[in-house]
Each structure stands twice: as C-alpha cells, then as structure tokens.
Structure 1
Amino acid sequence: MSPRKPYAALLPLLLPFLLGLLAVAPARAADNGSWSVYPVSSAVAARPYFYVSADPGQSVQDKVVVANNTAGPLTFRLYAADAYNTARDGGFAVKSLGERMRGVGAWAVLPKDRVTVPAHRTVTVPFTVKVPEDAEPGDHPGAIVALDERIDRGDGSVALGVQRAVGARVYLTVGGPTLPALAVENVRISHHQPLIPGLGDSTATISYTLHNTGNVTLRPRVALKAEGLFGRTLLTRDLRDLPSQLLPGQRVRLTERWTGAPQLDWADVRLTATAKNTKESATASFVAVPWLVVGVVVAGAAVAGRLLLRRRRRPEGPRRPGARGTARPAPTHSHAKAGQTAGD
C-alpha cells in the first residue's frame, strides 16, 4: 500500500471542516496566516465580502485577490463553491471541491483553475457570475476558494493528512419575490432529576431544529419560556448560541440546558423564533415526578391492598353449641293416650 493512501482517504472528511474555518475569518479578508482571499477594493473602500445582485439571465463580473504571506511561492486550486450552515454550530462553511453545486458554485466562472502566487505578493483573478434564466429568486451564498492541494502531514506521529483552503464569501441575491420564513421543528426535552427530591440538581436539555424555509438569509433570535401548573412562569430566557446567519433551506440542530428545572411539576416549554418579517413557535411538555418516591408509595399501597383483600376473604370458623345468638330446636311432645292411635 502506498504511504499516501491513508492521507488521501481522510481528505474528504477533513476538507469540509477546514473550509468551515471561513466562519471565523477576519472581516476584511479570509486569512489563515499563510494566505488570504478577498475582493478587489472599490474606489470608495475595502469590501469585506462580495455582495452581488443580479436578475435571472444576467451576468456580473468581479475580481478576487489571492495574497501569499509566506517566504516562498504557493500554488492554489481556485474554484467557486456553494455555502451551507454546519451541523455542529450553524457556522458559515462551503462545499468541498467535487461536491454538487447548485448556486454560486455552479454559476461562477473562473478563467483558470490554478494560480501561483510569488512570496509576499498578490495575484488578482477576474471571474464572472452567470445567473441562469430559471434561477430561483432570493439569496444564494457561496465563496471563491483558494485550495492548497499539498498534503500537510503534521509531525508524522499519526497517519493523518489535511489540505487547507481559504475562501472569500459571495453573497449573491437573485432578483424576484422574496419570502422570509422560519420554522421551529422537532422539539425534544430530556429531563434528569435526583431519585429523592431535594438531594441533587434537576436539569432539562431542550433540543430543537431551526429551519430556514424561505429564500433569504435570516438572523434568527429564539426566546424560551417554560410554564408550570396553573400557568406559573418557571423560566424565561433569550437564547444565545445561535447561528449568526441561517442560510436559505438550511437546518441547524441546537440544544439549550436548563439547570434548576422543576422536580415536581408539569412543565410546558415554548420556543419562539423570530427574524425579519417572520415569527414561528413550537411547544413541548414534560412531567417532573420523583419516580422513586412514587414507586415506593405505589408498592406500599399495593401491599396494603393485598393484605386487606386477604383478610376479607378469610373463612369464619364453626361456632360452639349454645353460643349466644344461635337458635335451639323446639322440643316435641306426644299427647296420644294409651290404647289410642294417632288420628282417632
């Protein structure tokens, strides 16, 4: 077996993770310390990302800069890619080379797919975004990516190899009707409490899915409210660990931990998600019961019930003759005289 095969086998798994680092890039350039990718500055100011608006059937031209920050020349594979939200935290990430593209990744045309950048120099590459006639209106986020195809083997202590990539985000908006729509789906609650009330903390983990069902990018906010029996408010909270941008069609699975959840109550939990021009809610409930105590009480009641039932079914013993309350038979007497027969 070639020594490169173990590295190559891991590349499809690791490359999307590395491309996800685009989410933490500086505001003015996607940068990993060795090279950066960013739009050509306009006459007014530097652009943090590409913001492109086009109607179906229209083409838009722009330029991307690839900067080499190292002491030696670097060669990159250039390609356009569609963006998506990562399942882990909803961060902005782009598809890896070879995946199926439907938006920017399919519509952006680069004059060449490889570029060599001298040490401490930059290279500017023009590109064209050709929007199809049948393109759906709304947002189509993506990126122009510079991929270093060399395999970084690290320190060689493990059979692991990675490729690094940096991309400049492209926010493409296709003209036409827009529909902001947000859904809260699959709300689940996992509740844990001590066996004996008061002897430990009670926690609940609330998991849910945010789904952008519209065609525009949203900045969601989620409010959590929990009510107990008789409408008592148990918790109100604005959730923080949310994606800064939820892209069209994307789903993100999120969780929220509730420390100090009730130990004896019926709790109704409502999640309300809002974004610009859209609002949606979903609910779920759980019963907080000290099951050990309930089990002991039920078992005790069952035992007491069986003992009482046995006592009622026990047969009574025979009573002594002449005992109080028993009826004695009346004595019989014969009044027939001697020499007479009964009936004379």
Structure 2
Amino acid sequence: MPPIPGRRGPRRLGAALRTTALLTAALLAAAPYGAPAAADEPPAPAWTAAPAGARPGPARPYFYLAGPAGTVLEDRLALDNPGDREHTVTLRGADADNAPDGALAVRPAAPGASGAGSWISFGGSATVKLPPRTRAVVPFTVTVPPAAPPGDHPAAVVATGPGRETGVRIHLRVGGPAVAALTVEDVSVRGHGAATTVDYTLVNRGNVTLTPELALRAEGTLHEPSGRPARALPVELLPGRRARLSEPWPDAPALDRVALTLTATAPGAAPATAEAEAWLAPGGTAGLAAGALLALAGTALAALLLVRARRTRRLRRAAGGLPAGAPAQEDAAANEHEHEHAHELTGAPR
C-alpha cells in the first residue's frame, strides 16, 4: 500500500517535540534549584564583631576612648551569630601598627607586651559561646597606667573563632600635650617614562595619628618637568611608625637630570621636605651606563685614529728622505702663519 502523502512530516515533528521535552526535563532535573551565586561573591561570615551601639542607630566603625593617665575606661563589643550553628569566639587586646606599606595591621600576641593592647581586659568573658541566631554584648575595660605618656595609643580588640579572625580598632587618646611631627626620608627614583615612580619614607615623630598629604616639585637641566600638587595619601600613620610609599610620576621627562623636592604636610604638623637628584634616561641606570660606555668608546676610537694618522705621516716623511723629526713643508708654513698672527696679536714689530 503506498504511503499516504503528508503523514511523514507530522510524525517527524512529533518525534522531535518529544525528544526536546525529554532533554528539557533532564536539564531541569540536573540544574540546582534557584539562581546560582556569583563566583566572585565571598560567602557571608558565620559571625561578626563590632562596637556595640544603641539600636536603632548608626553603627560605630571603631571604638573611641579618651581620658587622663591612671583612669579606667569602659566600652562594649557586640558579637552576632546569624547562622544556625553554635560558635565559640575568644577575645584579646592587641596593639595596632602600620605595615611597611602603611596599611593598618595588628601586632601578634607577645608575652610581656606593655602597649595599649595589654591595657584591655574582658574579665571572665574572654571566651564567648554564640548560640544560633544570637547576639552577645561583651563589656571590656581599658586601664590606662598612671605613667602613660600623652597622645594616641592605637589598639584593637581581636576576636578569633571558627574560620576567621577579625580586629576592631580602638582610638585611645591619653590626655596631655598633643605633638604632630612628620619627616620625609630616603627619596629615590625608579622606572622610566610613564612608569617613573618616586619612592620615599614617611616617619611620624609625634604622639598623634597623622593623615598626611604629599606634593612633588621637579627642576630639570634640559626641560621644565611638571611636578605633582599636594594630594591626600591613603594612609593613617600611627605615632612612632614609618611607612615606605611610592608616588607615580607618569609625566617625568624621558632624558634629563632632575632635582626633586618632596613636601609632606599633616594637620597640626610643620611641613617636611626632602630633596634628591636623579638622572632620567631610557633604560634607567642601564641606559645611562650604556651611554657613558658609548661616549668612552667614541673618545678612545678618536684617539686611536689620531695616533694612526700621526704614525702614517711620520712614515711618509721617512720614505721621502726627510728626517723623522723634520717638519713637513705644510707644517712649516702653518708655523710661520701662526707666528705672524702671534706678532699681530701682541703688537711686536715684524
């Protein structure tokens, strides 16, 4: 029996639809429920630590405590556990510090430490158990020694628990004269062209925390290079600390000898300056060395050619029957011409 026209098309279409439906169902079964989280999104912390504050109200970013030497200051730390598992958190005091690049850091615990971190006490609450979905408020005290010098004593409360350790800063100021003092040291230049960088060290020689600004002025031998106006630096420099920083100088001249002047300022502190000289050339120091070697090679080559020319002239004189030390005719004429001009310059009779 011959096939009925038009029957094969619908059959193929129905089979394709059934296959598509089966594949879709398989993909939906394999896919996780809900939208996937972004790959670069960090997981939410299991617990948090922050200064306790009245609710509702803005959260405090850090603790700020102030008082005279010999006083006892009090504050409270809030620990939040939003998850469904219990966590145990231990608390300790620590000294705050600047990392070598100026970033704020916390000094590791050390026996016998006498900084502001050792003034912090949690009494019997240094270990806290956080049940699920619970907030605990932990009081602590800061006992300032009677002989504590005036000024800022940066410290932190460090909370350590499962999977993380976090520090909450304490701005602690002991009453008395506040001295703001800043210096700039160890200025050097590296790189070339748009990658030129000025390195320097800032030192806080006072007793209060500083937020410095820096300006750069340059004077060139061949050019008039532009400097950099004063701008705020992304660093809080703690008392007695130093930081090694870098200042980009993308519009530095490609080839020149420059004199740099760096000026650092901070609220309450006198401006601090430092000067340095540097050669700027393609390839940096290697480029300068290569240029010097080329100049030396050129001088040596010129001297060699001059010696060879004199030697060739002496050989030609000897071949022509003249004594080796006798002057050539053109040399005698030149000498006579020089004597004439010498007489004319001195005014002696001819």
Higher strand share: 1
The 5-angstrom pairing of residues 131-142 of structure 1 reads 131-142=144-155
Q: Tell me, in whole angstroms, the C-alpha distance in 2 between the residues paired with 1:189 and 1:64.
A: 46
Is the CA contact (8 Å cut-off) linking 1:210 and 1:251 kept in structure 2? yes
Please say which of residues 304-313 and 233-242 is displaced more in the overlay: 233-242
1:262 is aligned to 2:274: no
TM-aligned CA deviation for residue 173 of structure 1: 0.2
TM-aligned CA deviation for residue 260 of structure 1: 4.1
In 2 relative to 1, CA 227–216 (structure 1 residues): closer, same or farther, beyond 3 Å?
A: same
1:248 is aligned to 2:239: yes
In 2 relative to 1, CA 123–300 (structure 1 residues): closer, same or farther, beyond 3 Å?
A: same
1:165 is aligned to 2:156: no
One of 39, 42, 49 as aligned partner of 2:62: 49
Which amino acid is 1:169 matched to? R
After the TM superposition, list the runs of 4 or more consecutive aligned residues in structure 1 that deviate by more than 6 angstroms.
none
Is the CA contact (8 Å cut-off) linking 1:189 and 1:205 kept in structure 2? yes
Structure 2 alignment gaps of length 5 or more = 1-43, 282-286, 323-328, 330-350
1:69 is aligned to 2:90: no
Which amino acid is 1:232 matched to? E
TM-aligned CA deviation for residue 224 of structure 1: 1.7
Is the CA contact (8 Å cut-off) linking 1:221 and 1:242 kept in structure 2? no
Which amino acid is 2:171 matched to? Y
- TM-score w.r.t. the length of structure 2 is 0.69
Match of 2:264 in 1: 273
Which amino acid is 2:184 matched to? V
TM-aligned CA deviation for residue 167 of structure 1: 2.6
Aligned residues: 270
RMSD of aligned C-alpha atoms?
Answer: 2.9
Is the CA contact (8 Å cut-off) linking 1:228 and 1:234 kept in structure 2? no
- TM-score w.r.t. the length of structure 1 is 0.70
Structure 1 alignment gaps of length 5 or more = 1-31, 153-163, 193-200, 326-344
TM-aligned CA deviation for residue 175 of structure 1: 0.8
One of 127, 134, 137 as aligned partner of 1:124: 137
In 2 relative to 1, CA 91–293 (structure 1 residues): closer, same or farther, beyond 3 Å?
A: closer
Match of 2:228 in 1: 236
Which amino acid is 1:121 matched to? T
Which structure has the higher relative contact order (CA within 8 Å, separation 6+)?
1
Higher helix share: 2
TM-aligned CA deviation for residue 131 of structure 1: 0.6
Which amino acid is 1:80 matched to? G
1:283 is aligned to 2:275: yes
State, as a whole percentage, how many aligned pairs show the same letter. 37
Match of 2:119 in 1: 107
Match of 1:339 in 2: none
Q: Tell me, in whole angstroms, the C-alpha distance in 2 between the residues paired with 1:237 and 1:251.
A: 23
